[in-house]
């Protein structure tokens, strides 16, 4: 089942969103976005939990 995530659900004002075929692929895309656009070299566990709670079926 495909997954989708909208960054604006946890970072107010961010318009980025993505879809992927599974959660691993989704997290790869999210970490790349976090690094490039939010200057996060690694994603804190707290954020990972928030992201997981916002992942939706695409
Ligand atoms: Zn973002």
Q: Domain range holding 27?
A: 3-57
- Cα end-to-end distance, the chain, whole Å: 7
CA 38–ligand 1 middle distance (angstroms):
6
Domain count, the chain: 1
Pairing mode of beta strands 56-57, 3-6: antiparallel
Identify the residue whose tokens are 């879809």.
19
CA 22–ligand 1 middle distance (angstroms):
19
Going residue by residue through the chain, which has 58 residues, state the pLDDT in tens, using 9 for 90 and above.
899 999 999 999 999 999 999 999 999 999 999 999 999 999 999 999 999 999 999 8
* Sheet of strand 56-57: strand arrangement: 17-20, 3-6, 56-57
């Amino acid at each position: 089942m495909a997954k989708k995530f909208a960054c604006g659900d946890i970072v107010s004002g961010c318009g980025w969103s993505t879809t992927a075929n599974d959660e691993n692929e989704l997290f790869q895309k999210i970490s790349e976005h976090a690094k490039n656009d939010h200057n996060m070299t690694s994603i804190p566990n707290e954020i990972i939990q928030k992201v997981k709670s916002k992942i939706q079926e695409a």
